[in-house]
Amino acid sequence: PRKTVTVLPNEYGFVRLRETPTIEGIETDRLEIGASYPYLEKRYDWYQIKTGDRTGWASGTYVSEK
């Protein structure tokens, strides 16, 4: 089965997808609350997520692994 993460509710209303798995990484996209995305890799507490034609990193603080 494909590994996925679901975006958790938070005070911002979205989760940032970043170029690198750090809080300093450049924001490349925003993930919608409640949406599920496949992930390719987990590094520390960051998930490499594929959204359409983009790939980036989301903090494990804001997503839940399925």
The whole-model pTM stands at 0.92
Token pair listed for 60: 């494990």
Whether residue 25 contacts residue 7, with contact meaning beta carbons closer than 8 Å, is answered with no
Summarised one tens digit per residue, pLDDT across range 9-60 is: 999 999 999 999 999 999 999 999 999 999 999 999 999 999 988 999 999 9
Work out the percent of the chain whose per-residue pLDDT is above 90: 91
Query: CA nearest 46: which of 14, 21, 18, 26?
Result: 21
User: What contacts 11, CB < 8 A, 6 or more positions away?
Assistant: none
With vertex at residue 53, the alpha carbon angle to CA 52 and CA 54, rounded to the nearest 5 degrees, is 95
